[in-house]
Structure 1
Amino acid sequence: MSALPSTSLWTRLSNPGHFLRWSGAAGPWLAGLSALTLGLGLYLSWFVAPPDYQQGETVRIMFIHVPAAWLGVFFYGSMTLSAIGTLVWRHPLADVAQRAAAPIGAAFTLICLVTGSLWGKPMWGTYWVWDARLTSMLVLFLIYCGIIALWRTMEDPNRAARAVAILTLVGAVNLPIIKFSVNWWSTLHQPASILRMGGPTIDPSMLYPLLTMIAAATLLGVTLHLYAMRTEILRRRVRTLTIREAERLDAGAPVLVPGPAAGSTPLGQAL
């Protein structure tokens, strides 16, 4: 008897129709909250946070760079969980979530790389160095691109989902490398400044705006992911209906053309 509630919950969570209903209701609220938090974060980071005593105004790039880096890693972590859901539990929404997350994660990773290069020019004297942290983030971006390309080159959705799930799990090895690269190797990139044993090393006047921007970026990313999943579900439904219609036509079934409604005037008489 105790298995029934869990089975019912699993059925509801794996039902695309149920997901479309609750996400349609939650989406506008998430979007509004994202906009408000992002507006507050931009105001704090650009007009309240002071310039750094060494970096000057260049430090403001950090308020975009750090949230983008966090989301690049965050979305790949969520894709790893989705890959497990696809291969182990065959959850109907797992590969939907994974496919929807890949372009978003790739976009934030690219923003991280670009903003890091813009910061590196005045600070390091060059746009790029083959630093362990930078290189591992570049590898993450290339993995994202490979996953997106693999999905688009395979026509069978089920085979594509399994292949992408396996590739995602293999690429997950890069996540701890990104995190601990500044500790394992001698790098130009600064070590962790927020999540560290001794507490944050950033001054509160910059830390709180940065945390606000991280929260805003996370809300924005979740909102984009929610709508991307909805789009993917609807795209698959349209694809299924198109295939069924094509199969029906191939079988020689008559094409159903709706006739004029009762009481309507024929087009020739109307003209």
Structure 2
Amino acid sequence: MAGKKWMPRWFYQLASPRWCYEFTGKLLPWFAAIAGLSLVGGVVWSLMFAPADYQQGNSFRIMYIHVPSAILAQSCYMLMAIAGAIGLIWKMKVADMVAYSCAPIGASMAVIALVTGAIWGKPTWGSWWVWDARLTSMLILLFLYMGVMAMHAAMESESMAAKAASVLSLVGLVNIPIIKYSVDWWNTLHQPATFTLTEKPAMPAEMWMPLLVMVIGFYCFFAVSLMMRLRTEILRRERRAGWVRELIVAGTSDKG
């Protein structure tokens, strides 16, 4: 009981599938609205108003998709690993559901990052793919996502699958700093970070501001996707619970 005193109340509320389902339902419209506005505004801004790069010309505009997807692929993996660790330590079902829901979204972002990187690399480096440290470590990240999803699909026991996937996620965390610092540790073709929170952006404001808007849009889109998948997973796993049955009955009555 002593360990519970320092834990915030919301931490234990999140352990309740019903509370989590209702809470995410309230957040969804807000995140969806911000995601829609940010993505539409960011795409229009980056394609129509941002100036062309003095070296790469208009081909640099793929950056507005590539950079947010690459950042999000890494952030999603860290969230998946953290949720997996919480599930292992505190046995929270909702944490396992979050980790399970993260994997397909993160894998999709990794694929987008790799594909857009290849499209960007062709005119820049003259090749669709090089075994660059940053590219290789990002490919490993995709394989880690696929491994997590494969474990969930291969094991009949959801609890055992969650434990195995969580261990793999935690082990794979070592790849995240490799992705981030590979351009500093090794001599690679990949350019350094476009902008960071601690340093002044290397590009003019009219270029990095639409990129920031796109990053915000991608994160809000990720939040919407995660909450939708999580809510579906909660209903699937808690389908025998009384509150889920009441929810289904209420929904059926509304349609009638």
Q: Same fold (TM over 0.5)?
A: yes
Instruction: Report the alpha carbon displacement of residue 9 of structure 1 after superposing the two structures with TM.
Output: 4.0
Give, in whole Å, the separation in 2 of the partners of 1:172 and 1:27: 29
The 1:137–1:6 alpha-carbon spacing in structure 2 relative to 1, beyond 3 Å, is: closer
Instruction: Report the alpha carbon displacement of residue 7 of structure 1 after superposing the two structures with TM.
Output: 7.6
Give, in whole Å, the separation in 2 of the partners of 1:57 and 1:153: 45
Instruction: Indicate the residue corresponding to 1:45 in structure 2.
Output: 46
Instruction: Indicate the residue corresponding to 1:263 in structure 2.
Output: none
SS of the equivalent of 1:219 reads helix
Give, in whole Å, the separation in 1 of the partners of 2:19 and 2:130: 48
The 1:70–1:5 alpha-carbon spacing in structure 2 relative to 1, beyond 3 Å, is: closer
Amino acid of the structure 2 residue aligned with 1:170? V
Instruction: Indicate the residue corresponding to 1:217 in structure 2.
Output: 218
Give, in whole Å, the separation in 2 of the partners of 1:187 and 1:11: 45
Instruction: Report the alpha carbon displacement of residue 196 of structure 1 after superposing the two structures with TM.
Output: 6.9
Give, in whole Å, the separation in 1 of the partners of 2:93 and 2:148: 19
Matched, 1:76 2:77: yes
- Cα distance per residue 1:177-234 (max 9 Å; x no partner): 0000000100000112311754210111101010010011011011111111101111
Aligned residues: 240
- Cα distance per residue 1:25-48 (max 9 Å; x no partner): 221221122101111111111111
TM-score (norm 1): 0.84
Q: Which moved more, 1:84-93 or 1:203-212?
A: 84-93
Matched, 1:227 2:228: yes
Amino acid of the structure 1 residue aligned with 2:19? H
TM-score (norm 2): 0.89
Instruction: Report the alpha carbon displacement of residue 155 of structure 1 after superposing the two structures with TM.
Output: 0.6
Instruction: Report the alpha carbon displacement of residue 123 of structure 1 after superposing the two structures with TM.
Output: 0.8
Instruction: Report the alpha carbon displacement of residue 8 of structure 1 after superposing the two structures with TM.
Output: 5.2
Instruction: Report the alpha carbon displacement of residue 6 of structure 1 after superposing the two structures with TM.
Output: 5.2
Give, in whole Å, the separation in 2 of the partners of 1:20 and 1:198: 39
SS of the equivalent of 1:93 reads helix
Amino acid of the structure 2 residue aligned with 1:19? C
Matched, 1:129 2:107: no
Instruction: Indicate the residue corresponding to 1:267 in structure 2.
Output: none
Unaligned runs of 5+ in 1: 242-271
Instruction: Decide which structure has the larger Cα Rg and report it.
Output: 1
Give, in whole Å, the separation in 2 of the partners of 1:169 and 1:92: 18
Q: How does 1:138-177 map to 2 (within 5 A)?
A: 138-177=139-178
Give, in whole Å, the separation in 2 of the partners of 1:153 and 1:161: 11
Give, in whole Å, the separation in 1 of the partners of 2:70 and 2:162: 26
Q: Which moved more, 1:229-238 or 1:194-203?
A: 194-203
The 1:7–1:215 alpha-carbon spacing in structure 2 relative to 1, beyond 3 Å, is: closer
Amino acid of the structure 1 residue aligned with 2:130? V
Instruction: Report the alpha carbon displacement of residue 19 of structure 1 after superposing the two structures with TM.
Output: 0.9
Q: How does 1:1-271 map to 2 (within 5 A)?
A: 9-195=10-196, 198-238=199-239
Instruction: Report the alpha carbon displacement of residue 5 of structure 1 after superposing the two structures with TM.
Output: 9.5
Unaligned runs of 5+ in 2: 242-256
Amino acid of the structure 2 residue aligned with 1:122? P
Amino acid of the structure 1 residue aligned with 2:42? G
Q: Which moved more, 1:196-205 or 1:149-158?
A: 196-205
Give, in whole Å, the separation in 1 of the partners of 2:6 and 2:87: 22
Instruction: Report the alpha carbon displacement of residue 237 of structure 1 after superposing the two structures with TM.
Output: 2.4
SS of the equivalent of 1:129 reads coil
Amino acid of the structure 2 residue aligned with 1:157? E
Amino acid of the structure 2 residue aligned with 1:154? M
The 1:192–1:19 alpha-carbon spacing in structure 2 relative to 1, beyond 3 Å, is: same
Give, in whole Å, the separation in 2 of the partners of 1:75 and 1:13: 19
Q: Which moved more, 1:175-184 or 1:32-41?
A: 32-41
The 1:6–1:192 alpha-carbon spacing in structure 2 relative to 1, beyond 3 Å, is: closer
- Cα distance per residue 1:212-266 (max 9 Å; x no partner): 100110110111111111011112123x58xxxxxxxxxxxxxxxxxxxxxxxxx
Give, in whole Å, the separation in 2 of the partners of 1:166 and 1:4: 28
The 1:124–1:161 alpha-carbon spacing in structure 2 relative to 1, beyond 3 Å, is: same
